[in-house]
Amino acid sequence: MLAVRLSVSKAMGRRGKKNAVSAIKEMITESQRRDTSPVSLASSRTSSLGRTFQTCSQELEKKVGDFVQAEGKSKLELEKKEEELNKSKQEPEKKVREFVQAEEKLKQQLEEKEEELKKSQQELAKKAKELVQAEEKCFVKLKTKEKEIQKSYKNVQELKRALSKKEEELEKQNEKVVKHEKLVAVLEERLECPVCLDIPTTGPIYTCSNGHCICSACYQGKASNCPVCRTRMFESISMVAAAVVANIDHRCRHEGCLERLPVELKEEHRRVCAFRPVTCPALRCNAKVAYSLLVDHLLNHCKESASKEHGMWDMKNSSETYPFIYSTNKEEEGNSSSIRVMTMMWRSKYFFLTVQKMAGSLWNIYVQMLGTREECRRYRVTITVEEKEKGLVETSCRPPHPIYEEFQDIQGLVVNDDAMKDMAVKHQNGKDVFYVKLKFETI
């Protein structure tokens, strides 16, 4: 049956009408072979064909449905693909745009960099030029310096030669000086007066027949004998000795001093010599010390110096006030600083303050200065004892006194003891004190 159906359908489908006629002929042949009528065979075949047709149309419908479905699906996919394609088409555009933008940006940056490079190249070129110029300048300077050095070297050489020449001259001079000193020493030995052991500075210088010299101060007259050889002196004077003393440099006689001076300057030097002996300003000390050692004596050795105990008063201001104990007790006076000398410094000069209780109920207050009388005249010290509440004041203003070679009574600000008593006030330690104010000035 299936073979017949297939053959019919094939005949109908593929061969058309001619094939249909041949199919009918076949059918008739078939019916004859089967011994049945062709109609019944046909009807049976028709019903079979109808069924086959139905099945086919069902299948066809199904196929059509599947096809439609597949078509729809394909369409959707196609749309999707198109969309994707569009999308993918757009993406490269975007990328291209971005790329172009980035390229532009890069270009710009590149330009900027090029500009910078150009600038830095220009600067570099400028710097290089400057460097070359500086180098040239340095070179010129170097050359100048070299020349200067050469010149200096020549000068140094010349100076060295001059120096060695001078050194030779100096050596010769030194030899001369040594010779001269030896001669002076021999002459001094001969000129030294055997009585006073001093070398006379002025004539006449007397001599005995053996040539011994006697100074005019020690010469005892023409009837006297020579103190060395005992021969009669007569009245002979030595012109040579007078000429020598007038022309040699005389040694300073102060201990420690090494100065040698012409006779006309000797006296002046003696007055200002740093080794001249002076009397300690402390009233109960009276020690004789070299002028240059006086401060050391007062700060470190003198028992009557308040500064040995309390140190030196370094005056920062021109005016200072110091308290002193007022006492009528003799013993206490001795122990208090009221009688001991105070050392102070003002503008690098040394001053010494003495507050002295004298006989006859008087107080004597004065300031001395380490200096000559001439130096003292350039300063002025105002000494004031004052009691402000009672309105009492005693004052004196004058240059400081010098430090003397020999002890001298000095009169400074003199205050009556009664007046001093009135000016004394109770100090916090219970003792009566009066205040001495010093004011220093230069004139």
210 touches Zn ion by CB under 5 A: yes
215 touches Zn ion by CB under 5 A: yes
- The distance of closest approach from Cβ of residue 399 to Zn ion in the complex, given in angstroms and rounded to an integer, is 23
- One character per residue 99-128, x = contact with Zn ion (rule: CB under 5 A): ------------------------------
Closer CB to Zn ion, 20 or 272, in the complex: 272
CA distance 259 to 273: 9
- Asked if residue 394 lies in contact with residue 413, where contact means CB atoms within 8 angstroms, the answer is yes
Closer CB to Zn ion, 193 or 438, in the complex: 193
Closer CB to Zn ion, 179 or 271, in the complex: 271
- The distance of closest approach from Cβ of residue 246 to Zn ion in the complex, given in angstroms and rounded to an integer, is 17
The window from 69-77, 118-126, 162-170, 273-281 that contacts Zn ion (CB under 5 A) reads: 273-281
- One character per residue 134-173, x = contact with Zn ion (rule: CB under 5 A): ----------------------------------------
User: Strands, DSSP E only, in 189-282?
Assistant: 206-207, 213-214, 249-251, 260-262, 277-279
341 touches Zn ion by CB under 5 A: no
- The distance of closest approach from Cβ of residue 193 to Zn ion in the complex, given in angstroms and rounded to an integer, is 3
367 touches Zn ion by CB under 5 A: no
- One character per residue 221-260, x = contact with Zn ion (rule: CB under 5 A): -----x-xx----------------------x-x--x-x-
- The distance of closest approach from Cβ of residue 278 to Zn ion in the complex, given in angstroms and rounded to an integer, is 10
Contacting residues for 218 by C-beta, under 8 A, at least 6 apart: 193, 195, 196, 227
Neighbouring-strand partners of residue 395: 384
Angle ∠(361,367,368) on CA atoms, nearest 5:
125
Packing angle of the helix pair 38-191, 2-10 (nearest 10 deg): 80
Angle ∠(255,259,263) on CA atoms, nearest 5:
110
Q: Which residues of 315-354 are buried (b: 16+ CB within 10 A; e: fewer)?
A: beeeebebbbbbbeeeeeeeebbbbbbbbbebeebbbbbb
Distances (CA, A) of 190 to 196, 207, 212, 237: 14, 11, 7, 14
365 touches Zn ion by CB under 5 A: no
Q: Which of residues 168-197 bind Zn ion (CB under 5 A)?
A: 193, 195-196
Q: Helix and strand tally (H, E) in the chain?
A: 10, 17
Nearest to 4 by CA among 55, 44, 32, 54: 44
306 touches Zn ion by CB under 5 A: no
Q: Which residues bind Zn ion (CB under 5 A)?
A: 193, 195-196, 208, 210, 212, 215, 218, 226, 228-229, 252, 254, 257, 259, 273, 280, 282, 285, 287, 302
